[in-house]
Structure 1
Amino acid sequence: MAVISTSTTKAITRSITRKKPWTLSPPTAWPLFLILATQAIVSLATLHNTAFQDEGLYIYAGQQLFRYWMGGPAPLENYAFYFSGYPWVYPVIGGILDKVGGLELARAYSLFCMMGVNTIVYFCTKKIFQRPAAIFASAAYASLGTVLYLSRLATFDAMCLFLIALGTGLAIKIGTSRHSWLALLIGPLLMLSILTKYAAMLFSLPVLGVLVFTSLAFLGWWRMILRLVLALISLAGSMVTTYYFVDKSAFHAISGTTTNRVAEIIKPRLELFLHALQMGGLVWAAALVALVLIFRMDKRFRLTALLLFGSSWLVPAYHIYEQEGVSFDKHLAFGLFFAAPLAGFALAWISGHVQHSFSFARVKGRHWLVGLSVILLIFMLGSQQSQTIYTQWAHTGG
């Protein structure tokens, strides 16, 4: 019996390593292209406003820092002392883009990052739950109001979320292939995401958890341990290197804006909870259905599913506990990134597209209209919510 188990494991490993899940081909990837195009068009066509105060501050600071980099005068302020991300990362990028093509180019960079996040949602879901679930997951995520909003906001958030998503996608890639050395890339990616925005620290453990549980599900204990050790070594090395080069006044900003933040706009916890459900309740509900299905029918992905669902609630839990209303709408996109693959699986199951890779039989009948209706409902709510958020600050143009 042990011999059969070993050969089966090896066969699964060989099958995994031959597969190239990250390759785009027109016959299979066209739904993703259509979803990304829709995400871009809706964001560009419906969200219009002059610069938000954070956008103006980060771009202005970035231009000052870039001039200083090029031999100009020193910046007027020590931005590292109070920015919620290291000023030499995103603000410099935003400042350069604004200098080249104005605010719209800086916002286009955020749109590009959010489209990248959605692409990773697609491929991560496809790797674990197959293509139908990936299409539903990507469509649901692109339709969320918080995602559309971040796609048109030139702040730390879109780039930070892209790096977190990239780390998660890399963790799944490493956990399903024999190339263990790729785990050395996770540390620098996590460190760069934290430098982009310090709130990314909240998602470092979930990314490592995805690596652990995916490796355990596909490759076994020993390969999982090797990958985790390599990832931790690279993370420790990245932290030491960063500490050596970073402006030490940034530690004050980390405490003041993230780890020991004082709530600026205090809101009742129930109000924040209900607002979170309003913004992403349909996705979380579908994710919960998927969690129940996986726990009942396929034990291999139980830990991964539980981790994804729990990670999706880290942001709401933090804001609700702190009673912090500032940036709540933006940060929900971070949590819902982890819920999207589960939601995609649930919608694929409801629509009758669950494949035989799972231990339970394929659902009979194709109730695809149910899944499509849920996506359309998320889209209608999301487009309206994003427009409401995007007009919250006063228009200062002529």
Structure 2
Amino acid sequence: MSHTHPPVHEETLQLRVLPPPPPQADPGFSFVEQPLPGWTLPPPALMGWAADTGRRRRTVALAMLAAVLVVQAALSLRLANSAFEDEALYIWAGHVEIGSLFHGAPNYGGFGSYFSGAPVLYPVLAAAVDSVLGLAGVRALSLLFMLTATACLYGLTRRLFNERAGLCASALFAVSMPTLFLGHFATYDAMAVCLLALTAWLLVVIAPRHWAWAAAVAPVAALAVGVKYASALFLPTLVLLYVLAAYRDHYMRRALLRGALFGAATFALLGGGLVASGYLSAIQSTTTARAHGDTPAWQILQDSTRWAGLLVAVALVGTVTYARTARLAEIPGWRRAVPGRRWRTCLGVLLTGTALLAPAYQIHLQTETSLQKHVGFGLFFAAPMAGVGVTRLMGAHFKFPQWAIAIGVLALTLGLSQSASSFGSWPDTRYLIPQLSYTVRPGQHWLGDPKEGPVYCLSRARRTHYQDWLSFFFIDYRTRDGRYLTGVPGYRAAVREGYFDGVVLDYSGGLAPAEEAVRQEMRITGRYRLTGSLPYRTSTGAGHFEIWVRQQSTQ
């Protein structure tokens, strides 16, 4: 039986193949790529955080900043030593100023004539804290200032670049030797750094806003200079930073006007304060016309490189790489797609070059006095470019994390060792002060090196007074026959006539000419006897204190 099928038309067996859809034009490429089967991933962002602009990024960044601040506080608080002579002097000067300002006591110190900062600012604040919390409280105040500076550095770098660069910059600055040292050192340097940092951060914040905000920030900058006169060295950097930050939103003409307003307001406040206070002689003797030393330039460069070389080197890497390209999403809120190369170059050179101002000025003065503190001012301004340098070395998506690890470990190691060495460079008076407390009596005249530490500690127990002590810096002695003698002859005459009830000498491998003359005179005349020799050890060597007391038979 056969089955017959209906006839099949030829056209029903033909498969109709539809033409493929026309390719979509892609303006970013010159060719069209056919879609592949399976999953298709979007192109990745150049930086891991570029796509995350919400609350999570800010929360993570602030948590990491808090961790950096905790580490900085722990590393600063580990430093221990007795009061340095500058710490004791500034705190005691603050007590004198408080007595003069609020209680009408005589201001016999003349601190305004030789302090490198206004004695009515930081010393008064330090003395007020000292009255309640002692030296530990004043040092904790310095730590608070340095932590605030690190936080302002993060905010500044985040606004100029992004959170990742801000965290890298704050971490490098937090573990640097000057930051750790100043964080546990009761002088006005920490307060000055904090005020400069606050000024820089505020200027970047107000850059896109109304021009009148510039006058509101000027008092903060003027206060920084009043706290420490050398802060004026960084005012041009602040003005130019404000101009560059304002240029992102207001173009050059308006940016220059804002910078001029901020500079004029700051200098007007400083001029008014200078006229009202009369501190011109102190500014000249401690800052603008300071006496030159004899330290060679190579030694200043060597020490500056030890303390600041790593951060400045990384900042140079950031400056060069950032000037070449700005394609790592480091500029949020720029009014164009990418900032121009000239702007990027100017910003990098300005911030990194500021780190060289303090060493260059001290090379000009040929002195290393306070160099370990002054380099910290410039490191704050170079730190943002160092943060950029670390991010550039790591690459997008942390492609080369070994760079950040190596730089971080090296910076931490140098900061730990150098800060401990600097903080242990002066003699510890923990055994000297108790010994003097049994010897010194109210109303006695003492000659001391050191002088400030015993005066600060013993005056709290009301066992001595500032005017009862004389240092080896200067003497104007009137002999019994009416002659006035200064220098070594004055010290010799005072010892010969038994003017001092006691003498403290710091013998660390040798004595200054005046100290050696006093020691010889005490031995020759026999008016004084050695009652104690207290050894000590510093990071630079060993020495001992000698306590000489006038014999009762000579009174």
Per the alignment, residue 287 of structure 1 pairs with: 315
Structure 2 residue aligned with 1:140, among 166, 169, 172?
A: 172
Query: In 2 relative to 1, CA 33–263 (structure 1 residues): closer, same or farther, beyond 3 Å?
Result: same
Q: Note the C-alpha offset of 1:269.
A: 0.7
Q: Deviation at 1:365? A: 5.5
Structure possessing the higher radius of gyration over alpha carbons: 2
Q: Which amino acid is 2:320 matched to?
A: V
Residue type at the aligned position of 1:179: H
Structure 2 match to 1:198: 229
Give the aligned residue type for 1:282: L
Equivalent of 2:65, from 1, 13, 32? Answer: 32
2:206 & 2:190 partners in 1: Cα distance? 24
- Alignment of 1:391 with 2:391, yes or no, is no
- Please, which of 202, 206, 214 is the counterpart of residue 245 of structure 2? 214
Q: Name the structure 1 match of 2:411.
A: 378
The answer as to whether partners of 1:214 and 1:304 remain within 8 angstroms in 2 is no
Matched, 1:323 2:351: no
Counterpart of 2:210?
179
Aligned to 2:299, which of 259, 271, 275?
271
- Which of 54, 62, 81 pairs up with 2:86? 54
Question: Is structure 2 residue 155 aligned with structure 1 residue 120?
Answer: no
CA distance in 1, matches of 2:203, 2:365: 30
Q: Percent identity, aligned pairs only?
A: 32
Match of 2:105 among 65, 73, 86: 73
> What is the letter of the counterpart of residue 32 of structure 1?
L
- Equivalent position amino acid for 1:40 in 2: A
1:314 maps to which residue? 357
* Match for residue 257 of structure 1 among 272, 280, 286: 286
1:213 CA displacement: 1.4
Match of 2:23 in 1: none
SS at match of 1:70: helix
User: For each residue in 1:173-212, what CA deviation from the matched residue of structure 2 results, as whole angstroms up to 9, or x when unmatched?
Assistant: 122x223221112321221111101001101111011011
Residues 103-118 of structure 1 correspond to what in structure 2 (within 5 A)?
103-118=135-150
Q: 2:391 and 2:400 mapped to 1: Cα distance?
A: 9
Report if aligned partners of 1:217, 1:301 keep a CA contact under 8 Å in 2: no
Deviations along 1:81-116, whole A, 9 cap, x unmatched? 110001000000111111110001101111001111
Q: Which amino acid aligns with 2:146?
A: M
The structure that is strand-richer by fraction is: 2
In the TM superposition, 1:355-374 aligns within 5 A as 363=396, 366-374=399-407
Deviation of 1:230 (Å): 2.8
Given residue 423 of structure 2, which amino acid in structure 1 is its aligned partner? Y
User: Structure 1 residue 251: deviation in Å?
Assistant: 0.7
Measure, in 2, the Cα distance between the counterparts of 1:146 and 1:232.
Answer: 28
Match of 1:360 in 2: none
CA–CA separation in structure 1 for the residues paired with 2:109 and 2:183: 29
- Aligned equivalents of 1:126, 1:368: Cα separation in 2: 20
State the Cα distance separating 1:118 from its structure 2 match: 0.7
Amino acid at match of 2:312: W
Q: What residue in structure 1 maps to residue 532 of structure 2?
A: none
Displaced runs of 4+ in structure 1, greater than 4 A? none
CA shift at 1:20, angstroms?
A: 12
Match of 1:9 in 2: none
Deviation at 1:166, TM superposition (A): 1.1
Q: Give the equivalent residue in structure 2 for 1:305.
A: 348
**Structure 2 segments unaligned to the other structure (5+ residues):** 1-52, 327-340, 432-555
Q: CA RMSD in A?
A: 1.9
Deviation at 1:245, TM superposition (A): 2.5
Moved more, 318-327 or 336-345: 318-327
**Match of 2:102, as an amino acid?**
M
Counterpart for residue 181 of structure 2: 149
Query: Partner letter of residue 194 of structure 1?
Result: V
Q: Distance in 1 between matches of 2:264 and 2:176?
A: 36
- 1:101/1:270 Cα in 2 relative to 1: closer, same or farther (>3 Å)? same
Partner Cα separation in structure 1 for residue 267 and residue 308 of structure 2 = 35
Q: Summarize the Cα distance change of 1:392–1:54 in structure 2 as closer, same or farther, 3 Å threshold.
A: same
Q: Distance in 2 between matches of 1:233 and 1:288?
A: 31
